[in-house]
Amino acid sequence: MLIVEVQLGIDPRKRFSWPDYTMGARAAHRCQVGLLVVAPDPHVAAWCAAPIETGIPGFVLRPPVLGREAVPVVTDAAEAARRPELAVLSALAHGSSEQGARIAAAALPAVRELEEDRARFYGDVVLNPLNEATRRALEAMMKGYQYQSDFAKKYVAQGRQEGERAILLRQLRARFGELPEAAVARVEGAETAVLERWAERVLSAKTLAEVLDDPS
């Protein structure tokens, strides 16, 4: 039995939970159990690979780690359709690279064929590593694809909107300091047209209210 876990950040709690649920799975299923940690970030991968001393003599867990360099770059749509999980993993590992848009363009049509819940989750995983420039490049590329779908368009647009929200929040914090929870909630719930209107006001506004409040 192999337990596979994707680790995107350093979480000290895993030094305790990894030995726990690997041995728990071994006891429950009465079989040998392996653990594979997928960590696209090199710094996180190095942390994950450090031996875990359990306190039991001879029992030291050394998690095998699959880093970014070991994940293939999948830009071929046919290959992505054959192995959608590998395409998603490729996007997770290389989505922020120069090939990020091509990887996402291959992965999104592949995951749309899966059941809805898994397709939605995988769509989020594919789009999350992309920066704003890559999202725009992806959007432009997909207009020319014959397999363009409502699913893909929906999630590309959603990813772009989330990127615009993140950028606006950074601009607001840089200009006005820590934001009230109500202001953050308004930005996170705003549509694209509203976000664009607020973004135009950031540089000239003297207060947060001048950005977020519509003039009477």
- The model carries a pTM of 0.52
**What counts of helices (H) and strands (E) characterise the chain?**
11, 5
For residue 216, the model assigns a pLDDT of 45
Per-residue model confidence as pLDDT tens digits over 48-88? 999 999 998 989 999 999 888 888 999 998 999 999 989 98
Assess whether pLDDT exceeds 60 at residue 187: yes
Compute the mean pLDDT over every residue in the chain, rounded to the nearest whole number. Answer: 82
pLDDT category at 147 given cuts 50, 70, 90 is: very low
At residue 146, the pLDDT reads: 44
- The percentage of the chain sitting over the pLDDT mark of 70, rounded to a whole number, equals 87
pLDDT digits (tens, 9 = 90+) for 89-102: 898 888 888 888 88
Phi (first) and psi of residue 113, to 5 degrees:
-80, -10
Going by DSSP bridges, is the β-strand pair 34-39/60-61 parallel, antiparallel, or unpaired? unpaired
Nearest to 131 by CA among 167, 106, 107: 167
Residue type present at position 167 = I
